[in-house]
Structure 1
Amino acid sequence: MAACSMEDVLARVEKEEAEKLKNISVYKGLELEFDLGNLLACDQNPPDTRQFRKRTADEFLRALARDNTQLLVNEIWKLPVERVEDVIVAKLPDPATRLPREKPVPKPRPPTRWEEFAKLKGIQKKKKTNLVWDEVHKQWKRRWGYKRASDDTKEWLIEVPVTADPNEDQFAKRIKAKKERIDKNELNRLKNIARAQKVKVPGVGLLPTDQQSKNDLGKAIQVAKMSTASVGKFQDKLAKEKEPKNSGKKRKFQPLIGDFSAEKQKQLDLLKTMESKKPKLNITKAVNKQMREEDREAAATKKRKRSQKGRRGGFDGKGGKGGKKQGAK
Structure 2
Amino acid sequence: MATLIEDVLAEAERSGLGGLRSIHVEKQLEVQLDLGNLTALDTNPLNLGPFRQDPEEFLRSLARDNTQLLVNAVWQLPSERLHESIVAKLPQPCTPIPREKALPKPRPPTRWEEFAKLKGIQKKKKSNLAWDKEKKEWRRRWGYKRANDETKQWVIEVPEMADPNEDQFTKRVTAKKERVAKNELNRLRNIARAQKSKVPGMGLAPTDQPSKTELSKAIHVAKTSTASVGKFQDKLPKEKEQRSAGKKRKFQPLIGDFSAERLKQLELLKIMSSKKPKLDLTKAVNRQLREDEQEQATKRKKMLPKGRKGGKNNRNRGNGQDRKSAMKQRGKRK
Name the TM tier (shorter chain): 0.3 to 0.5
TM-score w.r.t. length of structure 2: 0.38
TM-score w.r.t. length of structure 1: 0.39
Higher relative contact order (CA 8 A, sep 6+): 1
Higher Cα Rg: structure 1 or 2? 1
